[in-house]
């Protein structure tokens, strides 16, 4: 994926980069990623907060410099006043080395223009969702008292994971100013081209043009320059959306035509009105985004999409899809046979190489018949399962594209909406996730998988009172679905309700005795109960059924907690040999080395490797409290307080009731010699249900246990649990 360009308005020859020192003030300038008529954008490193930023610097112009300086400051102030999840956040503005600049979030992704140019027009559902997010951003701009004036596909970024971001506020000004001379011609309303002042409805017009472009790759009115566009508008030479794209829903086309009406009085009067119209056009209602809370990071199965035994229900849709396909090059029996096998593999994805075997079968179907929607839907789910299993961001885009393709081909396919809902939830886009899951349940109100994904979303939204009843409803709809049973077990595991968790995991084992994941999760329950021998036996059973890197890691983890470092080290090393990219195995191995009093350089090398491997995941899931606690603890073990403390504090803030996070934060504070904070966090961990026996086994807490205040912390009352 390509990186953000905050300013891409320059359409002429690319100017050479200005010769700069490697630093601008406190920032380390890395490389130029964009340019415009009066500024350049660099990827830079902020050493204070240890993160990459986008740094926009004004080009030196000599005469007239102050005017353009004012313009850049105006842009920075506009961005700073608009605080919204769909708007790139600005962090500061300053002057160094004779040049003024501001810095903001550096976003990984691609512009919508790049997406359309490389992948072709979007489907109606995907385009409408993007339009809704742009409207939300523009509504925030208008609420702050500004007009954007340069809304276009090149100024809208789709971040890795799918979040839509409005960028480039270089033409933004306060309402009431009368400069209408600037903008991107194809997106400018007829009245702007005639010199009239910018208005809210002119921004609405630009959003309509954006939607026209997203669905067709064209603009409703074309022209090489301002004058030609004026003539085209005056002659009424406008393209009708349904003439260009007759397969679009009429309701969506009506929204676009209204937004781009030549008469500004006939357009939507606000971005909020357009949001409502777009939502209605695709049968959805909006929902507010809420930051996701912590997720348990040591479990082996990681499947919120609890979609089991759907093949029979889907076969009528398969038949309809194949029989109506204009490109059906394979016999129906061939498609059904391959599809049945692939779908069964995904339903029982706990079996060795199940997902890996299913993917080529599905690829074969969609290669033969690109319009076979159920195969696209299952390809999306397969990629999602791999993302959740391996925490590798490379699977995110594959899951999203396949599921969106399925929705474009068969909007009534509930399973594709479930996959999208779960994917968006796991990448922090709760509002879009809610849209997708609402749609899935509108299509199939008895869809157990949708309820399982919805329960996961409720947890991320902090609506914890809804999680358990929603999961129970999912299980009641599909009582033989091992995946949903395990998800309910995980809920109890997160709550340290050990007996309820054990009941669910034993049920999962009964349903699927050959399920290594169920045995693995039962091992996690035994670990939580402090029964390390039983935990080791369960992990060994899981390894016997299917040896994987994560199961060797789990076995190494409990043996290390039991003080059997000589046995733990080779298991962790074997886990790393099988999958070198897993940061947590390196972190566990580093702690084993430390407890074995290994060479300091060896310990340091392992911790640094863990930190390095965790970096991409931190970008993908920046609010994962378990991940933050892990990395904070690694920095703490290296004595790097400046890097560690913000992570430990953030982890505790994100998961104030999560026992394991609070315990790891306590270990981190102790490593940094911050005994008071360590004792306080340990008391909170105990109150949340962390086992006292586990605290007593950790050699890293030996000095803390000698503190007279330790006994009060360790005997803190555990919160009452149902």
54-66 pLDDT, tens digit each: 887 776 654 455 5
Tokens of 73: 């400051």
User: Do 130 and 268 belong together in one domain?
Assistant: yes
pLDDT for 341 beyond 80: yes
User: Do 268 and 324 belong together in one domain?
Assistant: no
Per the rule left: phi > 0, alpha: psi between -120 and 50, beta: everything else, 410 is beta
pLDDT, position 484: 93
Q: At what angle do helices 659-671 and 641-654 cross, to 10 degrees?
A: 160
CA 153/CA 169 separation, integer angstroms: 14
Three-state DSSP class for 40?
A: strand
Q: Give the model's confidence band at 639: pLDDT under 50 very low, under 70 low, under 90 confident, else very high.
A: very high
pLDDT for 623 beyond 50: yes
Q: What is the CATH number of the domain that holds 469?
A: 1.25.40.10
Q: Give the model's confidence band at 131: pLDDT under 50 very low, under 70 low, under 90 confident, else very high.
A: very high
User: Do 433 and 365 belong together in one domain?
Assistant: yes
Percent of the residues in the chain that have a pLDDT greater than 90, as a whole number = 30
pLDDT, position 292: 38
Are 549 and 683 spatial neighbours (Cβ–Cβ below 8 Å)? no
What beta strand segments (E) does 468-544 contain?
none
Q: Residue 110 phi/psi, 5° resolution? A: -135, 150
CA 188/CA 205 separation, integer angstroms: 7
User: Do 124 and 61 belong together in one domain?
Assistant: no
What are the distances in angstroms from CA 84 to CA 80, 169, 247, 654? 10, 14, 33, 20
Q: Is residue 235 part of a domain?
A: yes
pLDDT, position 109: 77
Per the listing, tokens 């899981």 go with 542
- Rounded to 5 degrees, what angle do the CA atoms 445, 446, 447 make? 95
Structural domain count of the chain = 4
Q: How many CA atoms lie within 13 A of 473 on its CB side?
A: 16
Q: Which residue has the higher pLDDT, 668 or 431?
A: 668
Per the rule left: phi > 0, alpha: psi between -120 and 50, beta: everything else, 90 is beta
User: Do 464 and 358 belong together in one domain?
Assistant: yes
pLDDT, position 36: 55
Residues comprising the chain, all counted: 722
pLDDT, position 227: 79
Looking at residue 389, the DSSP 8-state letter turns out to be H
Q: Give the model's confidence band at 485: pLDDT under 50 very low, under 70 low, under 90 confident, else very high.
A: very high
pLDDT for 289 beyond 50: no
Are 177 and 197 spatial neighbours (Cβ–Cβ below 8 Å)? yes
pLDDT for 311 beyond 60: no
What are the distances in angstroms from CA 651 to CA 294, 424, 633, 658? 8, 22, 11, 10
Q: Where does 529-548 have alpha helices with state H?
A: 532-545
Cβ-based burial of 296 (10 A; exposed 0-12, middle 13-18, buried ≥19): middle
Average pLDDT value over all residues in the chain: 79
Domain C-terminal end among 446, 474, 505: 505
- Please list the helix, strand and coil fractions of the chain in percent, rounded to the nearest 5, in that order: 60, 10, 30
User: Do 221 and 322 belong together in one domain?
Assistant: no
Provide Rg for the chain, Cα atoms. Answer: 28
Are 606 and 586 spatial neighbours (Cβ–Cβ below 8 Å)? yes
CA 389/CA 397 separation, integer angstroms: 15
Per the rule left: phi > 0, alpha: psi between -120 and 50, beta: everything else, 29 is beta
Pairing type for strands 109-111 and 146-147 reads unpaired
Domain, as residue range, for 687: 624-714
Q: Where does 348-393 have alpha helices with state H?
A: 354-368, 373-390
Nearest in space to 449 (alpha carbons), one of 384, 531, 494: 384
User: Do 404 and 321 belong together in one domain?
Assistant: yes
Domain C-terminal end among 59, 80, 105: 105
Q: Residue 556 phi/psi, 5° resolution? A: -60, -35
Q: What is the CATH number of the domain that holds 40?
A: 3.30.200.20
Tokens of 603: 């310990």
User: Do 134 and 244 belong together in one domain?
Assistant: yes
Give residues with Cβ within 8 angstroms of 159, minimum separation 6.
107, 108, 109, 165
User: Do 374 and 450 belong together in one domain?
Assistant: yes
Q: Give the model's confidence band at 114: pLDDT under 50 very low, under 70 low, under 90 confident, else very high.
A: confident
CA 683/CA 659 separation, integer angstroms: 10
Q: Is residue 270 part of a domain?
A: yes
Q: What is the CATH number of the domain that holds 220?
A: 1.10.510.10
Nearest in space to 191 (alpha carbons), one of 272, 278, 267: 267
User: Do 341 and 245 belong together in one domain?
Assistant: no
* Residues 312-320: contacts with CB under 8 Å, at least 24 apart: 314/343, 314/374, 314/413, 314/415, 317/373, 317/374, 317/410, 317/412, 317/413, 318/372, 318/374
Q: Is residue 300 part of a domain?
A: no
What beta strand segments (E) does 112-155 contain?
146-147
Lowest mean pLDDT among 167-176, 245-254, 348-357, 455-464: 167-176
Nearest in space to 18 (alpha carbons), one of 109, 107, 110, 101: 101
DSSP state string for 254-293: HHHHHHT-SSGGGS-SSHHHHHHHHHHHTT----------
Q: Give the model's confidence band at 77: pLDDT under 50 very low, under 70 low, under 90 confident, else very high.
A: low
User: Do 681 and 710 belong together in one domain?
Assistant: yes
pLDDT, position 169: 59
Q: Is residue 60 part of a domain?
A: yes
Tokens of 277: 């119209």
Q: Give the model's confidence band at 471: pLDDT under 50 very low, under 70 low, under 90 confident, else very high.
A: very high
pLDDT for 192 beyond 90: no
Q: Is residue 266 part of a domain?
A: yes
Looking at residue 33, the DSSP 8-state letter turns out to be E
User: Do 215 and 75 belong together in one domain?
Assistant: no
Q: Give the model's confidence band at 288: pLDDT under 50 very low, under 70 low, under 90 confident, else very high.
A: very low
Other Cβ atoms less than 10 A from the Cβ of 644: the count is: 23
CA 508/CA 167 separation, integer angstroms: 48
Nearest in space to 588 (alpha carbons), one of 572, 600, 612: 572
Stretch 512-526: mean pLDDT: 89
Name the most confidently modeled range: 86-100, 147-161, 654-668. Answer: 654-668
Per the rule left: phi > 0, alpha: psi between -120 and 50, beta: everything else, 645 is alpha
Domain C-terminal end among 505, 524, 554: 505
Q: Is residue 373 part of a domain?
A: yes
Q: Is residue 573 part of a domain?
A: no
Give residues with Cβ within 8 angstroms of 63, minimum separation 6.
none
The whole model's pTM is what?
Answer: 0.48
Model pLDDT for residues 424-454, shown as the tens digit of each residue: 888 877 777 887 888 888 888 889 999 999 9
Dihedral sign from CA coordinates of 648, 651, 655, 658: negative
What are the distances in angstroms from CA 257 to CA 156, 211, 241, 253, 440? 21, 10, 7, 6, 28
Q: Give the model's confidence band at 300: pLDDT under 50 very low, under 70 low, under 90 confident, else very high.
A: very low
CA 70/CA 514 separation, integer angstroms: 68
Q: Is residue 167 part of a domain?
A: yes
pLDDT, position 90: 74
Dihedral sign from CA coordinates of 258, 259, 260, 264: positive
Looking at residue 3, the DSSP 8-state letter turns out to be B
Nearest in space to 491 (alpha carbons), one of 504, 477, 478: 504
């Amino acid at each position: 994926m390509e990186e953000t360009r905050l300013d891409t308005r320059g359409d002429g020859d690319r100017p050479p980069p200005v010769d700069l020192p490697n630093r601008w003030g406190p920032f380390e300038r890395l490389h130029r990623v964009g340019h415009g008529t009066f500024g350049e954008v660099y990827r830079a490193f902020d050493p204070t907060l240890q993160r990459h930023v986008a740094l926009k610097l004004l080009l030196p112009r000599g005469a007239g410099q102050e005017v353009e300086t004012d313009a850049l400051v105006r842009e920075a102030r506009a961005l700073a006043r608009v605080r919204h999840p769909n708007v790139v956040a600005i962090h500061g503005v300053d002057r160094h080395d004779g040049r003024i600049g501001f810095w903001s979030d550096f976003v990984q992704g691609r512009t919508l223009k790049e997406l359309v140019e490389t992948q072709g027009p979007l489907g109606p559902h995907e385009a409408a969702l993007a339009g809704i997010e742009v409207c939300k951003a523009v509504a925030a701009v208008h609420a702050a008292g500004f007009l954007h004036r340069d809304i276009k596909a090149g100024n809208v970024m789709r971040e890795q994971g799918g979040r839509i971001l409005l960028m480039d506020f270089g033409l933004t000004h306060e309402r009431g100013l009368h400069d209408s001379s600037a903008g991107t011609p194809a997106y400018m309303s007829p009245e702007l081209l005639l010199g009239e002042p910018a208005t809210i409805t002119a921004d609405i017009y630009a959003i309509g043009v954006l939607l026209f472009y997203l669905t067709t790759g064209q603009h409703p009115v074309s022209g090489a320059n301002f004058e030609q566009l004026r003539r085209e508008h005056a002659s009424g030479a406008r393209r009708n959306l349904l003439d260009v794209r007759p397969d679009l829903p009429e309701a969506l086309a009506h929204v676009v035509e209204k937004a781009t009406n030549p008469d500004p009085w006939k357009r939507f009067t606000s971005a909020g009105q357009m949001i409502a119209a777009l939502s209605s056009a695709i049968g959805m209602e909006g929902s507010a985004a809420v930051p996701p809370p912590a997720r348990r990071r040591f479990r082996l199965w990681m499947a919120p999409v609890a979609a089991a035994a759907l093949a029979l229900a889907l076969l009528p849709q398969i038949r309809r899809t194949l029989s109506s396909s204009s490109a059906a090059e394979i016999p129906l029996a061939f498609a059904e046979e391959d599809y049945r096998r692939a779908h069964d593999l995904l339903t029982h994805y706990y079996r060795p190489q199940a997902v890996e075997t299913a993917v080529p079968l599905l690829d074969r179907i969609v290669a033969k018949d690109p319009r076979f929607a159920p195969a696209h839907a299952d390809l999306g789910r397969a990629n999602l399962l791999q993302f959740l299993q391996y925490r590798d961001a490379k699977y995110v885009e594959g899951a999203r594209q396949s599921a969106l393709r399925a929705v474009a081909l068969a909007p009534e396919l509930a399973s594709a909406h479930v996959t999208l809902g779960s994917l968006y939830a796991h990448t922090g886009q709760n509002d879009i996730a809610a849209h997708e899951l609402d749609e899935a349940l509108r299509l199939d109100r008895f869809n157990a998988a949708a309820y399982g994904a919805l329960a996961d979303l409720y947890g991320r939204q902090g609506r914890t009172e809804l999680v358990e009843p929603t999961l129970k409803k999912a299980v009641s709809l599909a009582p033989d679905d091992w995946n949903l049973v395990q998800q309910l077990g995980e809920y109890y595991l997160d709550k340290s309700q050990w007996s309820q968790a054990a009941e669910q995991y034993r049920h999962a084992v009964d349903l699927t005795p050959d399920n290594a994941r169920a045995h693995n999760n039962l091992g996690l329950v035994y670990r939580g109960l402090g029964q390390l021998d039983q935990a080791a036996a369960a992990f060994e059973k899981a390894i016997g059924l299917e040896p994987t890197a994560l199961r060797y890691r789990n076995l190494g983890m409990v043996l290390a907690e039991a003080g059997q470092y000589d046995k733990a080290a080779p298991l962790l090393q074997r886990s790393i040999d099988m999958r070198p990219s897993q940061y947590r195995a390196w972190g566990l191995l580093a702690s084993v080395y430390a407890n074995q009093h290994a060479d300091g350089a060896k310990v340091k090398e392992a911790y640094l490797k863990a930190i390095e491997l965790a970096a991409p995941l931190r970008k993908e899931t920046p609010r994962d409290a378990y991940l933050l606690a892990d990395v904070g603890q690694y920095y703490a073990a290296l004595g790097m307080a400046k890097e560690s403390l913000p992570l430990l504090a953030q982890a505790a803030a994100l998961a104030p009731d999560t026992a394991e996070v609070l315990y790891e934060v306590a270990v981190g504070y102790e490593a940094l010699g911050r005994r008071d904070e360590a004792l306080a966090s340990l008391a909170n961990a105990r109150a949340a249900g962390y086992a006292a026996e586990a605290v007593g086994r950790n050699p890293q807490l030996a000095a803390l246990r000698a503190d007279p205040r330790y006994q009060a912390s360790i005997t803190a009352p555990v919160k009452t649990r149902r």
